[in-house]
Chain A
Amino acid sequence: MALMERTQEILKGLYDAVVVYDEVASAELSKAALEEGVDAYDAVRNGLAAGMEKVGQLYANQEYFVPELLLCADALYAGLEILKPHIGVRRQEIRLKIVIGTVEGDIHDIGKNLVKLMFDAAGWIVYDLGKDVKIERFAEEQEKTNSDVVALSALMSTSMLAIPKIIKIIKARNPNVAIMAGGAPLTRDIAKLYGADGYASNAGEAVQEAVSMIARMKWIQAK
C-alpha cells in the first residue's frame, strides 16, 4: 500500500495528466498506481475523473474547445484502460446508467461523443447507440438496460423534429425515465416544448444537468 503522500502525488499527477492532455503521463502514472498499491478506484475517481471534471469546467468557460477536450479524453482513457480491470467489485458503487445517441437522420456526433465521455468520466454506465439512431431504438435500449436517463442529440433543424416523437415513445413505455436533449439548434425552451426533462447547452454541463434532472423528477414523483 502506498504511503499517503505518494498516493496524493499520484492522484495529482493523474489529474494533471488529464487536464494537460498528457496521454503518456496518464498511462505511466496509472501503472505506477497499481505497482505501488494505490487503490485503483481511488486513482480513477480522484485522479482521472477529477481531472475530467476540471476539463468540463474549462470547456464550459471557453478556455478549452473541442481539440483540447478530445485529447483530454484520450489521456483519460489511456489511464482508465489500465486501472479499470483492477477496480474491486466491492468498491463499485451503484452506478447510474444512461442511453445516449444522435437521433435518426443526423450523422453529427462530436457533441454527443463529448457528452458521452463526460458521463464515462463521472462513472456512469453509458450505452452509446451512435448516430442516426432509429426513433424506436432509444425506447428499446432504455427498457433493455433499465437506464436512468436517455440523452438525445441533434445538430440539424430537421432531425431535431424527431426528438418529440422519441420522447413520446419512451414516456409511453416508461414515464419515470429522465430524458435530456441537446445540440446546436436546441434551447432549454425548445427542449421543454418537446417534452424533455432536461437540457444541457454543452458537454461540460451535461452530467450536472442529468443529476439535477433525476433529483427534480424524484421530487415530483414523491409529491
Chain B
Amino acid sequence: MERLNSLLSGQRPDRVPLYHFLLGFCAKNVGYPISSMYSDPEKSFMAQLWTFEQYGIDGGPDFGYASYGGWEFGGEIKFPNGEWEQAPSHGSFAVQSEEDVEKIRLPDVTKSGMLPLAMEFSKLQDKFGTPISIVLGGNFTIAGNICPVETLCRWMIKKPEVAHRLLRFATDHILEVIQYWVDTFGAERVIPNIWEPLSSNQIISPKHFDIFVLPYLKESSEKILDMGIKHIYYHICGEQNLNLPHWAQVPMGDPGIVSIGHQVDLSTAINYFGDKSIIVGNVDPAFIQNGTPQQVYELCKQCIEKAKYAPRGYMLMSGCEVPPMSPPYNMYMMQTAIKDFGWYD
C-alpha cells in the first residue's frame, strides 16, 4: 500500500506502482473457479491478495463487475460458468418498457443484488488494512444495465425524459450506496471505484455524453466529495477520446485517480487529467492475453516512459481487466518492465 499511499498524499514513490485490474486471472492463479471472484467475498479477496503478493502488485483487492446495477434494480445476472465466460452477465433486465420505468424504486442498499457481498468484501478490506473500495457502474452504465442499452439508446433520442428518469435513479442509487459505505467505514477510508464503459464513443456521441452523462457524473462526484471522501477512482473504459473534454470537468478528488483503456493515449490523458489526477493504465489486455512476453514488456516500457512523470503520478496497469487466460509469464513481464524502467532517480 505504501506506493499508492505516497501518490495519494502527493509524494512521489520510489518507483512507478504496478496497479491492478485482475479478477478471473487471480482465480485461475490460485485454483478457484472464476465465478468465486464475484460470489464468494473471502475467496475473491484472498485470491487477489496472494496474486498481488506473487507479482509485486501495489494496492488492495477490489470486488465488482461491469454489469452492476441490473441485479440491484430487480433484474437477474448470471455468474460466469464454463470455458468462455469471465464475468457476470445479464440474465434478464428489470426494465424493458416505459411502463417498467414507472414501477422501479431505489433498491435497499443493505440487501439488494451484490451489495451484501460487496459489504462483506469491504469488511475484509478493513480487516487487512487495504483501501475500502466500492465498485459501482457510473451513472450511465448503471442506467444501461437496468434496461438493455439499446433501449436506453433509443430513448435518448425518442423519449429523452425516460432516459433522464433512469439516470436520476442511477445517480441517487450511487449516492445512497456510497453514503452507506461512508457511514460504515468513515469517509477517509473509502475510495469509490466507478466504471463507465457504456458511455464510451463505441456507444454514444460526445453530444449525448454532454446531455445524458456529464451532468449526472458531475452531480454525483461533487456530492461524493462533499461526504468527505478524498479520492474517486474512475475507470474510463473503452474509446473515450471524444468525451475527454467532458470527463475533464468531473471533479475526482485531490488527487483523483483516472484509469484509461488502450484506446486513449497516455499523453492525451495526462493533458486532460494529469494536473489533478493520478493516471493509470493502459496496456492493451488483448496483448497481455495473446501477445508474446516481449511484446508485453515493450508495451509496458512505452507506457512507463510516456507517463512516469505525470504531474500527480502514474501507475502502470492493463487498460481493462487482465483476461483470465493470460499467460502468467506475461503478467511477470509487467513486473519486470516496472523494475527495469519504473524507478525514479
Which residues of A come within 8 Å of B, CB atoms?
Answer: 21, 62, 64-68, 70-71, 74, 103-107, 110, 113, 156-162, 184-187, 190, 193
Contact = CB atoms under 8 A, between A and B. Distances in A.
Contacts of B203: 65-66, 110
A70 B150 contact: yes
Contacts of A105: 82-86
Contacts of B208: 65, 67
B290 interface: yes
Interface string B220-260: 00000000000000000010001000000000000000000
A185 B153 contact: no
Interface centre among B84, B201, B289 (most CB of A within 10 A): B84
B153 A158 contact: no
B324 interface: yes
A193 B24 CA distance: 24
A113 B85 contact: no
A167 B65 CA distance: 30
B85 to A, nearest CB: 4
A160 B323 CA distance: 10
Given A71-B157, A162-B84, 15 more contacts: A65-B203, A65-B205, A67-B154, A67-B204, A67-B205, A104-B82, A107-B90, A110-B150, A113-B150, A159-B84, A159-B86, A160-B286, A161-B289, A162-B83, A193-B290
Contacts of B150: 66, 70, 110, 113
B265 interface: no
Interface centre among A21, A67, A103, A186 (most CB of B within 10 A): A67
B28 to A, nearest CB: 10
Nearest to A162: B84
Interface of B: 24, 82-87, 89-90, 149-150, 153-154, 156-158, 201-205, 208, 238, 242, 285-286, 289-290, 321, 323-325
A158 B86 contact: yes
Contacts of A62: 201, 205, 242
Nearest to A67: B153
B84 A103 contact: yes
B158 A71 contact: yes
Nearest to B205: A65
Nearest to A194: B290
B286 A158 contact: no
B85 A158 contact: yes
A113 B84 CA distance: 21
A113 B40 CA distance: 34
Identify the 6 closest CB pairs spanning chains A and B, nearest first.
A105-B84, A157-B323, A158-B86, A67-B153, A105-B85, A65-B205
Given A67-B156, A70-B153, A158 B204 contact: no
A195 to B, nearest CB: 13
A106 B153 CA distance: 21
A187 B286 CA distance: 9
A97 B242 CA distance: 36
A68 B84 CA distance: 31
Given A110-B203, A158-B325, A66 B238 contact: no
A109 to B, nearest CB: 9
12 contacts: A62-B201, A67-B156, A67-B157, A67-B205, A70-B150, A105-B82, A157-B86, A157-B285, A158-B324, A162-B83, A184-B238, A185-B285
A157 B289 contact: yes
B71 to A, nearest CB: 15
Nearest to A161: B325
Given A67-B204, A70-B153, A71-B157, A185 B286 contact: yes
A21 B201 CA distance: 20
B143 to A, nearest CB: 13
B88 to A, nearest CB: 10
Contacts of B324: 158
Contacts of B285: 157, 185
A106 B203 CA distance: 18
A67 B84 CA distance: 29
A71 B84 CA distance: 32
B153 A66 contact: yes
B180 to A, nearest CB: 30
A101 to B, nearest CB: 13
A38 B314 CA distance: 63
B204 A66 contact: yes
B66 to A, nearest CB: 10
Nearest to A185: B286
